[in-house]
Amino acid sequence: MPSAREALLDSAHSAFSTLPWTAVRMVDVAAGAGVSRQTLYNEFGSKGGLARALIRRAADGYLAGVEQTLGDHRTRGEGPAELARWTVRAARADVLVKALLTGVWGDHLPGPGDPPTGRRTDAALPTPTELLTLVRDRAVAALEGGPEPRDPAQLELACEIALRLALSYTLVPADSVPAPELTAPNRTAADRSRRRSPARSTPA
């Protein structure tokens, strides 16, 4: 069984998947985890502390996935590409990971909020730049020991480019920008253009 802390985090995550964070009540989070509200406050101190713990767990989960991805693909020379794929997948799977990477926090999300208070659950959260730098440096350190020696500067550049491409795709995924349809005015203009263009003769 999960600990009370993990149960509370799961309950909070489930709550804000259907409600704006401002509408999430601590009493409901505690009830969803099967513990008392006092237990919730003892663990996190406040709703802000709960929010930061949620975000910290999302960051730790993303970084754990980075480590696994780098370990799985280090010997095949596919590290930067797989790092980009994992980053896109992680951001799609968890809106908190997406917010951590992009710095875009909507009103429906538990944001970093006030500065940490010094509690163990209130550790400072990384900015997008700090997180990407940390991931890039970990990638370089892990991939330098691959089967083929690589120049550290080139490897750092490759990882930086891979992460920034993943970040661009996270912000504007390809499937969110459908091809424009030909509206009636555009279709008419296209028809006129075709009529003006000379017909091409087909070679015999």
Using one digit for the tens of pLDDT, what is the confidence trace for 28-85? 999 999 999 999 999 999 998 999 999 999 999 999 999 888 876 565 567 888 899 9
CB burial of residue 140 (10 Å; 0-12, 13-18, 19+) = buried
Tokens of 2: 């999960």
Q: Which residues of 21-42 are buried (b: 16+ CB within 10 A; e: fewer)?
A: beebebeebbebbebeeebbee
Between CA 95 and CA 187, with CA 174 as vertex, the angle to 5 degrees is 135
Name the residue with tokens 């009529």.
Answer: 195
> Among candidates 46, 48, 12, 61, which has minimal Cα distance to 32?
12
- Which residues, 6+ apart, have CB-to-CB distance to 62 below 8 Å? 87, 90, 94, 97, 100, 101
Q: How many angstroms separate the CA atoms of 150 and 84, rounded?
A: 19
> Among candidates 111, 71, 65, which has minimal Cα distance to 89?
65
Q: Which CATH architecture group holds 1-44? A: Orthogonal Bundle (1.10)
Q: Which pLDDT tens digits describe the chain residue by residue (204 residues)?
A: 679 999 999 999 999 989 999 999 999 999 999 999 999 999 999 998 999 999 999 999 999 999 888 876 565 567 888 899 999 999 999 999 999 999 988 878 887 765 555 555 556 788 899 999 999 998 888 887 665 667 888 889 999 999 999 999 898 876 654 444 544 444 444 444 445 544 444 444
Handedness of CA 72, 78, 79, 84 (dihedral sign): negative
Name the residue with tokens 């990638």.
Answer: 139
Instruction: Write out the H or E segment, with its range, that includes residue 3.
Output: none
Tokens of 142: 């892990």
Q: Tell me, what DSSP letter sits at residue 111?
A: -
Global pTM value: 0.76
Query: Residue ranges of the domains in the chain?
Result: 1-44, 55-173
